[in-house]
Amino acid sequence: EAQVTQNPRYLITVTGKKLTVTCSQNMNHEYMSWYRQDPGLGLRQIYYSMNVEVTDKGDVPEGYKVSRKEKRNFPLILESPSPNQTSLYFCASSYWGSTDTQYFGPGTRLTVL
């Protein structure tokens, strides 16, 4: 089954404790990205990747890191989480970006205390 998976689905952590949210897709997609969803703000892009070893900032990259060492995986790293990063995070993938259907993972709900 074609899908985007994210882990964990739910995470409660404390300020400053490094964490990684994993994202994996099995569709051989070139393009992957991370969004955060906040009430009343819709979804905003954090980082994106056009291909292996190619990543770039989206609209709200501060406090986040990403890497793309393999085509299928695109982890999101919060080196020192803060309460304002409490949000719902989605990973998405597609063959070539905005003209193609983007497939979304189920989401990761992160709470930073």
Partner 1 sequence: AQSVTQLDSQVPVFEEAPVELRCNYSSSVSVYLFWYVQYPNQGLQLLLKYLSGSTLVKGINGFEAEFNKSQTSFHLRKPSVHISDTAEYFCAVGGSQGNLIFGKGTKLSVKP
Closest distance to partner 1 from the beta carbon of 108 (Å):
10
Instruction: Give the pair of three-digit tokens for residue 92.
Output: 């998405």
Closest distance to partner 1 from the beta carbon of 107 (Å):
6
Provide the b/e sequence for 3-29 (b: ≥16 CB within 10 Å). ebebeeeebebeeeeebebebbbeeeb
Cβ distance to partner 1 smaller for residue 10 or 69? 10
What does the binding site for partner 1 look like in residue numbers (CB under 8 A)? 4, 31, 33, 35, 40-45, 48, 50, 56, 58-59, 90, 92, 96-99, 101-102, 104-107
Closest distance to partner 1 from the beta carbon of 75 (Å):
17
CA distances from 46 to 1, 2, 36, 89 (A): 27, 24, 7, 9
Cβ distance to partner 1 smaller for residue 43 or 77? 43
